[in-house]
Structure 1
Amino acid sequence: MTKDEHEISELDLFDRKILEALSDDGRMSITDLAARVGLSKTPCQLRFKRLIVDGYIEGFKAVINPSKLNLEHIAFAEVKLSNTQEDALRAFNAAVKKIKEVEECHMIAGRFDYLLKIRTRDIRRYRHVLGERISNLPFVASTSTNVAMETVKENWSGSSYAS
């Protein structure tokens, strides 16, 4: 058993219930959380703090409505790099994190190297972000874009709210 597998197995039913409850409503009080998971307040608070310290809970944030901010255009850019050695990957990773319109960036095993989820207000802004920012990232050889026609399910974090 790996260290990560061992840590996960150390979570009991109450820990898992706490994580599930907070993923539904991160603003609930400790009193409400304790009632929901079937613990008294003090043990629930101790578990909550331990889950934070142990890294199971990384933080809390507001879920922003992107349509209220006129940020409904979503595109997925496939990015192929000219170099996939570790130094090139590190340079790309560091640079892509600085582009606020990029909500997600995943290294992919397949015909391209990275898949980026990009949120902007419209196609014109997307073209600007693609042409001026993404295409100029370190080691980008080519890109290909897929535009979302409809979002069926999404957990949006609000990371690109100022586009």
Structure 2
Amino acid sequence: MTSPSDAVAVVDLDRIDRRILLALQADGRITNLDLADTVGLSPTATAERVKRLTREGYILGYSARLDPAKLNRALLVFVEIKLDRMTPEVFSTFAAAIARAPQVLECHMIAGGFDYLVKARVGTMEDYRAFLSDVLMALPGVRETHTYPVMEEVKNTAALAL
């Protein structure tokens, strides 16, 4: 969710800042020299802009994308979770516990018919069944779950449109 100050901050980015961010999203390992060539600046000016974009929080970090199938995490599931009570204590206890589950890639509090949407990766449906019973149903406050196994990933990106 963006706040009015977020909208103003994005407007403050010039064309070159946007080109830098797009290039880094496409290839986080691009050399500064290649990045400078891509955006049409000197390497020094490019490096200074990248430092500023990092300092200002536009760039949060860098990571490698791994192949889930090669790491026995081929099954992607989304799980709707309903809690038994809606209190700040239940929410914070649940959030702390779900953050420790290594199978969980993302967890979002949702407005609507359930409380949380969890995105998780496991090896097989048998692994998911164990994860459901040993981890998810054991979390504090969990009353009900609905699982949606992914049959095909149509689009999978973390890149933001600029």
Q: Give me the TM-score of the superposition, normalised by structure 2.
A: 0.90
**Matched residue type, 1:83:** R
Mapping for residues 34-113 of structure 1, pairs under 5 Å: 34-113=36-115
User: How far does the alpha carbon of each residue in 1:5-53 deviate from its partner, in whole angstroms, 9 at most, with x for none?
Assistant: 2222211111111111000000001111111111111111001001111
- Give the secondary structure class of the aligned counterpart of 1:14: helix
User: How far does the alpha carbon of each residue in 1:114-143 deviate from its partner, in whole angstroms, 9 at most, with x for none?
Assistant: 111111000111111111111111211111
**Matched residue type, 1:53:** R
Counterpart position of 1:132? 134
Deviation of residue 2 (structure 1)? Answer: 3.3
User: How far does the alpha carbon of each residue in 1:88-138 deviate from its partner, in whole angstroms, 9 at most, with x for none?
Assistant: 212211111110101111111111111111110001111111111111112
Deviation of residue 82 (structure 1)? Answer: 1.2
Gaps of 5+ in 2: none
Q: Give me the TM-score of the superposition, normalised by structure 1.
A: 0.90
Q: Distance in 1 between matches of 2:144 and 2:12?
A: 45
**Matched residue type, 2:156:** E
User: How far does the alpha carbon of each residue in 1:31-89 deviate from its partner, in whole angstroms, 9 at most, with x for none?
Assistant: 11111111111111001001111111111111101111222111111100112222221
- State the identity as a percent: 42
Counterpart position of 1:6? 8
Aligned-residue RMSD, C-alpha: 1.5
Gaps of 5+ in 1: 157-163
Counterpart position of 1:161? none
**Matched residue type, 2:56:** D
**Matched residue type, 1:38:** G
